[in-house]
Amino acid sequence: TEIKRVQSLQNDGVTFSDIGGNEDAKRSLQDIAKYLGTPEKYKSLGIRLPKGILLYGPPGTGKTLLAKAFANECRVHFLYASGADFVEIYVGVGPKKIREMFKQARSLGKCVIFIDEIDSLGYKRGSGTNIEFDNTLNQLLTEMDGFNGSEGFTVIGATNQPERIDPALLRPGRFDRKIEIEVPDLDTRKDILKIHLRKKRFFDEEVIAEIAENTEGLNGSELENIANEAAFDALNNNSEVKLADFEILGCHFVQNQWRCFIKLF
Ligand code: ATP
C-alpha cells in the first residue's frame, strides 16, 4: 500500500519568477504565503487562512509550477500526489492512502500537499456506482477538517476539469480559495518564451515577439518545448539560438482552436 507517486521535494528551485503571466494567481498565492509567515498580524484582524487552494484551468499552463513556487516561497516541503493514485477498486485502500499521505506530511513538518487531478476524487459521488470514491473523498475531507491551516499545512488541488469536481470539496472551510489559470495570451506567451530562452542565452526581443504572435493557442508546456527544440538545434550547429532555429509553418484551426506548427531547420 506504499504511495509510490507521492514525492517530497525540498529545493526544486522553482520560484514565481520562473512562471510567465498568471499575475493574479501569483499575487493570491503570495498573499497566503505572507499569512503563513506572519500569522499573528492576520489573526489579530480576524482573518482566516483558506484551508485549501484550488487551481483550475487547461493542461500545461503552470498549475504544478505555481504550487511548487508557493512551497519554495514558504520554504516548506512539497508533497506531490495525483488524485488518480487514490482511486482503488478495493474497499479501504483509497482512504488508507490518504491517511498515509497526511501522516507523511505531519512527519515532514510544514509542507504543501499538492493533489493533481483532484477531480478524480468523488467524481461519481451520488451515482451509487462507486462508493469507494466517496470513502476516499470523505477521508480527504476528514483530514482537512482535522488541521488548522496556520500549523503550516496547505493543501493545493489542481484540475483541468473543474466541472467534474465534487461540490463537497468546494464548501467553505475546504478548497475555499479558487484560482483560475488560463491559456496564455500574447504577453504571457512572450513572458514564458523569455523565461525558457534566457537560460539558453537567447534574448532577442523581436524574435521572441514574433514567435509569441504566431503561437496562439499553445500552452506553457508547448512553448517550453519549442524553446528547447530550438536550443537543441542551435547547439548542434554550434551557435546561439537565432531566428533561423524557429520556422513557423503557419497556424491552423484544429478542434476549435488555433494550433501553430513550428518546424526547426
Ligand atoms: P497539468 O494540468 O497537465 O498537470 P499544469 O498546469 O500543472 O499541467 P505544469 O506542469 O505546471 O502544468 O507545466 C508543465 C511545464 O510547462 C512546466 O514545467 C514549464 O516548463 C512549462 N510551463 C507551463 N506554464 C508555464 C508558465 N506560465 N511559465 C513558464 N513555464 C510554464
Mutate to test the pocket of ligand 1, among 61, 117, 200 (most ligand atoms within 8 A of CB): 61
Higher pLDDT pick, 12 / 11:
12
What is the residue-wise DSSP string for 230-241?
HHHHHHHTTS--
Nearest-CA residue for atom 31 of ligand 1: 220
* Full-model pTM: 0.85
Is the minimum distance from the CB of 52 to ligand 1 under 6 angstroms? no
H runs (alpha helix) in 199-249: 205-213, 220-236
CA dist 248 and 244 (Å) reads 10
Higher pLDDT pick, 93 / 16:
16
For residue 53, pLDDT over 60 is answered with yes
The three-class DSSP label of residue 84 is helix
Element (H, E) at 113: strand 111-116
Is the minimum distance from the CB of 156 to ligand 1 under 6 angstroms? no
Q: What is the pLDDT of residue 257?
A: 47
Q: What is the mean pLDDT of residues 218-225?
A: 90
What's the length of the chain? 265
55 band by pLDDT with thresholds 50, 70 and 90:
very high
Q: What is the pLDDT of residue 100?
A: 92
Using one digit for the tens of pLDDT, what is the confidence trace for 73-111?
988 889 999 998 888 777 788 899 999 999 988 888 888
Ligand 1 atom, smallest distance to 66 CA: 11
Provide, rounded to the nearest whole percent, the portion of the chain with pLDDT above 90.
35
Nearest-CA residue for atom 21 of ligand 1: 221
Q: What is the pLDDT of residue 1?
A: 40
